């Protein structure tokens, strides 16, 4: 037997190892409220860390361009079967590297360059890849963007319908990165059907809520559904495409060889683990708890005098509007980070400020719900956020920030951070 002499990470690269441990501690001690983030479980993290990263596997199970697929094929087949079961989907492709490649694959499968596509505009809460002008999806396709109403900041289905009738898009996106209300998938499907468009739902933010039954599913209504796997779904950093059987061949061809080379097998394995976790009854409880926590936190923040975009939330996120006080979202978010409260500045609809320094703060509940926080804790969470905003608005005094950071760490100490 050969003696194991291989050095560990802390011996090979103590600099990187130390930074990784510091990031662990930072995630443990911070109130993590970035709406697109979560804590993956130890099982998910373990799956990403093994020998599967060493293997090439271009192609699909049973039809590969490499030898040595004895274990990669069953892993990917299990991931596909679990994704289909979780979302009641006719077909699943588990290979997309993340959400943006998944969205590009949907477009490559269903549209030609130059075709008209429609999506929610970025300033109204949409995603870059739904046709925003600086994205490839706004450069290679003729993008028409719908928005939200000025009075209640909700998606204006009348506008969606009239733009669709006028522009006859090949594909309509429904989905968002910063919209706090339920998406009306049947209404989008009716409009798409009327104008002969494909309907593509991007559920990256809400996939965990959909899987857990805390948000309606687009799967019965959309031709294609894309998602990341690492947000509310609580899996590894990656992507997933679900579609009708009629689009399966086109989607698979678009992912590989259309856009990607070898799938990241270690991430595929971790996706399979995450789908198994999401199929457990406890995940349904988790998904509903996220929404209950978000609603409870929204009430606390409203009680502290903050305006929320649309007046509240139906999902995992809310947007705090700082424009009545003419505060810089970027500066406030930066000071909050120093207080141990991690969230991001975000544009609000009709924002008077620029996108790089907008008027909103986006607050998401998925990560802290994974730590076991429930509605009774949202009073404290809201007070910490509101107090920190006041400290930030008054100039961000370091001693006052340190005091809040101490309160945050003390408050979070009893709640174990999954995976860390
Ligand atoms: N950037 C991600 C988010 O934070 O919502 C979406 O891609």
- Which residues have a Cβ under 8 Å from the Cβ of 281 and sit 6 or more positions away? none
Q: Which atom of ligand 1 is nearest to the CA of 178?
A: 5
Give tens-digit pLDDT for 315-359.
999 999 999 999 999 999 999 999 999 999 999 999 999 999 999
Mean pLDDT of 184-202: 98
CA 229 – CA 213 distance, rounded (Å): 16
Atom of ligand 1 nearest to the CA of 100: 7
Does ligand 1 have an atom closer than 6 angstroms to the CB of 177?
A: yes
SS3 letters across 129-141 = HHCCCCCHHHHCC
Describe the strand order of the beta sheet including 360-364 as a list of residue ranges.
Answer: 307-308, 317-321, 360-364, 344-346
Is pLDDT at 4 greater than 80 in this prediction? no
228 is known as an active-site residue:
yes
Q: Which residues contact 96 (CB under 8 A, 6 or more apart)?
A: 102, 105, 226, 238, 239, 240, 241, 255, 260
- Cβ-contact 200, 223 below 8 angstroms: yes
Q: Note whether 266 and 50 are within 8 A (CB).
A: yes
273-276 long-range CB contacts below 8 Å, 24 or more apart? 273/41, 273/43, 273/44, 273/47, 273/235, 274/40, 274/41, 274/44, 274/229, 274/233, 274/234, 274/235, 274/236, 275/79, 275/82, 275/83, 275/85, 275/86, 275/235, 276/82
Report DSSP state, residue 255.
Answer: I
Burial pattern 260-271, b for ≥16 Cβ within 10 A else e, equals beebbbbbbbbb
pLDDT of residue 3: 62
pLDDT tens-digit map of 27-85? 999 999 999 999 999 999 999 999 999 999 999 999 999 999 999 999 999 999 999 99
Report the pLDDT averaged over residues 225-241. 98
Cβ(370)–Cβ(39) below 8 Å: yes
Is residue 265 within 8 A of residue 47, CB to CB? The reply is: no
Across 154-173, average pLDDT:
98
Is 118's pLDDT higher than 80? yes
CA 248 – CA 16 distance, rounded (Å): 41
| Average pLDDT value for the chain | 97
Tens of pLDDT, residues 367-417: 999 999 999 999 999 999 999 999 999 999 999 999 999 999 999 999 999
Domains and CATH numbers, the chain: 47-278 (3.40.640.10), 283-412 (3.90.1150.10)
Supply the pLDDT for residue 1: 53
Catalytic site residue from 46, 56, 357, 387? 56
Nearest CA to ligand 1 atom 6: 177
What confidence score (pLDDT) does residue 235 get? 98
Q: Which sign, positive or negative, has the C-alpha torsion 169, 173, 177, 178?
A: positive
Using the mean position of ligand 1's atoms as its centre, give its distance from the Cα of residue 177 in Å.
Answer: 6
In ligand 1, which atom is closest to the CA atom of 228?
7
Q: What is the pLDDT of residue 5?
A: 83
CB atoms within 10 A of CB 45: 16
Question: Does the structure show a pLDDT above 90 at 2?
Answer: no
Q: What percent of the chain has pLDDT over 90?
A: 99
Cβ contacts of residue 211 below 8 Å, gap of 6+?
Answer: 86, 87, 233, 278, 283, 287
> Is-catalytic flag, 170?
no
With a cut of 70, say whether residue 248 has pLDDT above it.
yes
Q: What b/e string do you get for 57-84 counting C-beta neighbours within 10 Å, with b at 16 or more?
A: bebbbeebeeeebeebbebbebbbebbb
Q: Which residues, listed in sequence order, are joined to residue 96 by a DSSP beta bridge?
A: none
Which 3 state secondary structure label does DSSP give 175?
strand
Contacts with 276 (C-beta within 8 Å, 6 or more apart), sequence order = 82
| pLDDT at residue 139, as a whole number | 97
- Mean local confidence (pLDDT), 183-197: 98
Average pLDDT, integer, range 232-246: 98
Residue 56 falls in the annotated catalytic set:
yes
């Amino acid at each position: 037997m050969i003696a194991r002499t291989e050095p560990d990470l802390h011996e090979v690269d103590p600099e990187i190892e130390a930074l990784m441990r510091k990031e662990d501690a930072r995630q443990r001690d911070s109130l993590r409220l970035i709406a697109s983030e979560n804590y993956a479980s130890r099982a998910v993290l373990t799956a990403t860390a093994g020998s599967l990263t060493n293997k090439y596997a271009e192609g699909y199970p049973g039809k590969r361009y490499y030898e040595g697929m004895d274990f990669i094929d069953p892993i990917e087949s299990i991931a596909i079967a679990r994704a289909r079961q979780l979302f009641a989907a006719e077909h699943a492709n588990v290979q997309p590297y993340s959400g943006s490649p998944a969205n590009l694959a949907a477009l490559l499968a269903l549209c030609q360059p130059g075709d008209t596509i429609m999506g929610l505009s970025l300033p109204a809460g949409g995603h870059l890849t739904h046709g925003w002008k600086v994205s490839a999806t706004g450069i290679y396709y003729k993008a028409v963007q719908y928005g939200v109403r000025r009075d209640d900041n909700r998606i204006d289905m009348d506008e969606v319908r009239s733009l669709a009738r006028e522009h006859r898009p090949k594909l309509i996106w429904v989905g968002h990165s910063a919209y706090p209300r339920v998406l009306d998938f049947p209404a989008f499907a009716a409009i798409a059907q009327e104008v002969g468009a494909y309907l593509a739902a991007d559920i990256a933010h809400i996939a965990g809520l959909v899987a857990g039954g805390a948000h309606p599913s687009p799967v019965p209504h959309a031709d294609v559904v894309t998602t990341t796997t690492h947000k509310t779904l609580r899996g590894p950093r990656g992507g997933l495409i679900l579609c009708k059987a009629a689009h399966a061949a086109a989607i698979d061809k678009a992912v590989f060889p259309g856009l990607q080379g070898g799938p990241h097998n270690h991430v595929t394995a971790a996706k399979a683990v995450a789908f198994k976790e999401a199929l457990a009854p406890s995940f349904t409880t988790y998904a509903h708890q996220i929404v209950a926590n978000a609603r409870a936190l929204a009430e606390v923040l409203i009680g502290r005098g903050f305006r929320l975009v649309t007046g509240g939330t139906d999902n995992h996120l809310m947007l705090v509007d700082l424009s009545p006080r003419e505060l810089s979202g970027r500066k406030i978010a930066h000071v909050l980070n120093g207080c141990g409260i991690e969230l991001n500045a975000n544009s609000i609809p009709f924002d008077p400020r620029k996108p790089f320094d907008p008027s909103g703060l986006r607050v998401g509940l998925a990560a802290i719900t994974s730590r076991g926080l429930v509605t009774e804790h949202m009073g404290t969470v809201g007070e910490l956020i509101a107090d920190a905003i006041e400290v930030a608005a008054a100039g961000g005094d370091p001693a006052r920030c340190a005091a809040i950071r101490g309160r945050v760490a003390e408050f979070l100490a009893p709640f174990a951070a999954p995976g860390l």
